[in-house]
Structure 1
């Protein structure tokens, strides 16, 4: 699983951009851990990216 920092580094976006996408329902699916941290499964990120390719 990816941390939020890992995801932002891979996509070359800021944390604020990610949170904006998440608020608008445009971010990849996330898991919220009991401590409040977010994690993103690699499979969910790959599926989300593939969906962006289909839409283009």
Structure 2
């Protein structure tokens, strides 16, 4: 079984062209992709979760 690609938060913010503050506001509203917190406190977002989130965003606009 292949492990999913896990992206660091700065990588996700760069891809979304979004500030950290804006991302955390979306997260507080429950509108951000799912985040996994590692035991060392770092945050990761799986590529599949990010792609699924993008699709849901596109559906809301259409």
TM-score, structure 1 normalization:
0.94
Residue 34 of structure 1, aligned match among 36, 39, 60: 39
Residue 12 of structure 2, aligned match among 2, 7, 11: 7
Q: Give the count of matched residue pairs.
A: 56
Residue 40 of structure 1 aligns to a residue in which SS? strand
Give unpaired runs (5+ residues) of structure 2. 1-5
Equivalent residue number for residue 54 of structure 1: 59
Q: Aligned-residue CA RMSD in angstroms?
A: 0.6
Question: Which protein shows a greater Rg?
Answer: 2
Q: Distance in 2 between matches of 1:40 and 1:9?
A: 13
Q: Distance in 1 between matches of 2:42 and 2:35?
A: 10
